[in-house]
Amino acid sequence: MRPFFSILFSGLLLGSLAGENARAENKPQATPDFQKDVLPVFEEKCIRCHGAKRRDGKLDMRTLAALLEGGVTGPAIKPGNAKKSLLIELIHYKEMPPKKKGPFITSTELEILRHWINTMPDKS
């Protein structure tokens, strides 16, 4: 009888832990904040070419308003749709930052940018 309870207890414990993991994975991620989560990535990897002193492609990446206005190719981001945001496309295909310039956007940073754009309200 004792092995039965031991097996039952182990099964219940494992089931409970699996349930906790599933709930943690399904928990919605917090919306990234531009100032706290996004701007530091841009400051480290983008603003040297898209900031106050230099605006390649006439793109300024220091503010949300400037990203929405965009540069010569149009808006850098499409709120609510990272897949249709030029910024994400250029980073994903490793066109930005330019190959010889670095430092490059990490996959974690790219996911933060995607999540930030996808959680923005689309006001169009």
Is the confidence at residue 5, as pLDDT, over 60?
A: no
Q: What's residue 116's pLDDT?
A: 98
Q: What's residue 24's pLDDT?
A: 47
Q: Three-state DSSP class for 77?
A: coil
DSSP 57: G
CA distance 9 to 17: 12
pLDDT tens per residue, range 13-56 = 445 545 544 444 555 678 899 999 999 999 999 999 999 999 99
> Among 76, 8, 93, which Cα is nearest to 38's?
76
The answer to whether 57 and 73 have CB atoms below 8 angstroms apart is yes
Q: What's residue 51's pLDDT?
A: 97
The reported pTM is 0.75
Q: What's residue 28's pLDDT?
A: 62
